[in-house]
Homo-oligomer: A and B are copies of this chain.
Amino acid sequence: MCSPLQRALLVGGDHEAVVCGDVRLTYRELAGRCRRLAGALRALSLERGARVAVSGANCHRYLELYLAVPSAGYVLVPLNARHTDAELSYALEDAGASVLFSTRPPQKLPSCVEHVVGLDESFEVLLGSSSEGALDACDEHALAGLFYTGGTTGASKGVMLSHGNLVANAMNFMACWRFEPTTRWLVAAPMFHAAGTIGVLATVWAAGTHVILPTFAADWALDLIESERVTHTLFVPTMLAAVADEQTRHPRKVSSLRYISHGGAPIATETLRRGHAAFPDAELLHIYGATETAPIVTLSPHEDQLLDDARSRSCGQPAAGVELSIKRTDGSSAPVDEVGEVAIRGPNVMTGYWNKATETTRALVDGWYMSGDLGYLDSEGYLFLVDRAKDMIVTGGENVYSSEVEEALFAHEAVLEAAVFGIPSARWGEAVHAIVVPRQPVTERELVRHCRELIADYKVPKSIDIRTEPLPKSGAAKILKRDLREPFWRERETRVAGS
């Protein structure tokens, strides 16, 4: 198969490939830089399949690494730029990375890392001294990247995605939305996360343009949408909420923006409404996925037309090339409307976790990726997620899905951010607890009363902690519920351990 970059060169060598600050590159220039990057890596005498890590803010050099490293026969390892030194060192060592592209490498580098190159002028120096290398390593079964998950969940694992996985995902995206030479894709989410690179191959394939936002800020995003006439993007929910608020306060000319996708975390219907009100000309597309599925699993096109429908709470229908099944604990498929674990099969599913045979065996069962998400399908294949399997709260013998309680809280106009989880309770086993950051003054009593009108009594938070500072978030802007939950259980675990 023709690689996306090869096709972009054929059909749009002179098209603008990337806009990043003052830098503007055509596909011919981008491909030239990618080939010199390949040549530079070859000159380091790396073995085929060597791991090349990158950590830093979004920039055109990140895009070049994303396109060049796998095609040159190496394995890309994008690392969470917000991770601590210890976390970065862990991932570098786990991956056995030979090269690290980073302007701020961890102080203590694992011994495997032989070369460190900054994502700044030193990157240009490297390219300047290189001859061109080949970009022809595109075997579909070959490993293209290790994508470290973690942030909201336990220990970091390297998700192994092949070229075929990434290509299948791009095809699934293109089968939903038209990508054309006139497409101008805003890279808004961080590129170490699947949400940041989800549109890259589709945009390259169409010889469209990437407009890169180095770090997310709502006003900056809107300024770029206006000045660069952005047509397509993906926001994670917290970003969509922020740009919608900003656009409502200080409207820009955003009529070029016809396609807004969102994903990476559950979204409240209220956030969708605000998004639609702020960008009335744009189609909203809900994308549900996981790093392990490269990432698209389900899609809800024309979601803006579903806002008054129960399906506004769905994350859509399986993408064209994705097989989805709701699995009971015995492995059988659950019928319509029955909650079970979301399982995914298809050419987009990872080959496994790097060096983690046990976790791989647990995650890939008979070719199905077991997502750990609980959900059900309706009669037209719309997937409704109810919770992460491990975020489900068992209180007084009842199952409570934290997401449902969060949705109820978000329906209150005062609620800006909310996180719901179980805390130890002598009476209930677990008690439903909420942490809320309000956008305007509100009391615990008001929120409890509000929730009682929407959800069953046993689901209503037993306690609500109202805070003024923003909730802690991962680099991909997901709320770190783990960190919020942890203090409540630490004491308990200490007690259990010491009992």
Binding site for B on A (CB under 8 A): 1-2, 6-7, 10-14, 171, 174-180, 205, 301, 317-318, 320-324, 345-347, 377, 379-381
6 new A-B contacts, CB < 8 A, other than A11-B318, A171-B171, A171-B175, are: A1-B322, A2-B324, A10-B318, A10-B377, A12-B380, A180-B301
14 residue pairs bridging A and B, Cβ less than 8 Å apart:
A1-B322, A1-B345, A1-B347, A2-B321, A2-B323, A2-B324, A10-B317, A10-B380, A11-B318, A11-B380, A13-B379, A171-B320, A171-B321, A178-B178
Q: Which of A6, A7, A14, A318 neighbours the largest number of chain B CB atoms within 10 Å of its CB?
A: A7
**Out of B1, B377, B381, which one reaches A346, CB within 8 Å?**
B1
A174 partner residues in chain B, CB cutoff 8 A: 174-175, 320
Output the least CB separation between A282 and chain B (Å).
16
Bound complex: CA A381 to CA B178 (Å): 19
- Known pairs A6-B323, A322-B2; A317 contacts B381 (CB<8 A): no
Query: Which residue from chain B places its CB closest to the CB of A4 in the assembled complex?
Result: B320
In the bound complex, do residue B205 and residue A320 qualify as a contact, i.e. CB atoms below 8 Å apart? yes
Output the least CB separation between A417 and chain B (Å).
33
In the bound complex, do residue B321 and residue A1 qualify as a contact, i.e. CB atoms below 8 Å apart? yes
Output the least CB separation between A376 and chain B (Å).
13
Output the least CB separation between A452 and chain B (Å).
36
Can you list the 7 inter-chain pairs with the closest CB atoms, starting with the nearest? A2-B323, A11-B381, A174-B175, A10-B381, A11-B317, A171-B171, A1-B346
Interface of A is mostly: loop
In the bound complex, do residue A320 and residue B12 qualify as a contact, i.e. CB atoms below 8 Å apart? no
A379 partner residues in chain B, CB cutoff 8 A: 13-14
Bound complex: CA A256 to CA B347 (Å): 35
A320 partner residues in chain B, CB cutoff 8 A: 7, 171, 174, 205
Bound complex: CA A318 to CA B345 (Å): 29
Output the least CB separation between A136 and chain B (Å).
12
Output the least CB separation between A151 and chain B (Å).
30
In the bound complex, do residue B346 and residue A2 qualify as a contact, i.e. CB atoms below 8 Å apart? yes
In the bound complex, do residue A323 and residue B171 qualify as a contact, i.e. CB atoms below 8 Å apart? no
A14 partner residues in chain B, CB cutoff 8 A: 379
A10 partner residues in chain B, CB cutoff 8 A: 317-318, 324, 377, 380-381
Output the least CB separation between A399 and chain B (Å).
26
Output the least CB separation between A323 and chain B (Å).
4
A205 partner residues in chain B, CB cutoff 8 A: 175, 320
In the bound complex, do residue A7 and residue B346 qualify as a contact, i.e. CB atoms below 8 Å apart? no
A347 partner residues in chain B, CB cutoff 8 A: 1
Output the least CB separation between A315 and chain B (Å).
14
Bound complex: CA A322 to CA B205 (Å): 11
A177 partner residues in chain B, CB cutoff 8 A: 178
Bound complex: CA A301 to CA B346 (Å): 29
Query: Which residue from chain B places its CB closest to the CB of A3 in the assembled complex?
Result: B323
Q: Which of A176, A317, A320 neighbours the largest number of chain B CB atoms within 10 Å of its CB?
A: A320
A323 partner residues in chain B, CB cutoff 8 A: 1-2, 6
A12 partner residues in chain B, CB cutoff 8 A: 380-381
A301 partner residues in chain B, CB cutoff 8 A: 180
**Out of B2, B179, B180, B318, which one reaches A7, CB within 8 Å?**
B318
Query: Which residue from chain B places its CB closest to the CB of A206 in the assembled complex?
Result: B320
Bound complex: CA A43 to CA B141 (Å): 39
A7 partner residues in chain B, CB cutoff 8 A: 318, 320, 381
Bound complex: CA A180 to CA B283 (Å): 14
Bound complex: CA A91 to CA B136 (Å): 41
Query: Which residue from chain B places its CB closest to the CB of A317 in the assembled complex?
Result: B11
Query: Which residue from chain B places its CB closest to the CB of A174 in the assembled complex?
Result: B175
Output the least CB separation between A426 and chain B (Å).
45
Output the least CB separation between A331 and chain B (Å).
17
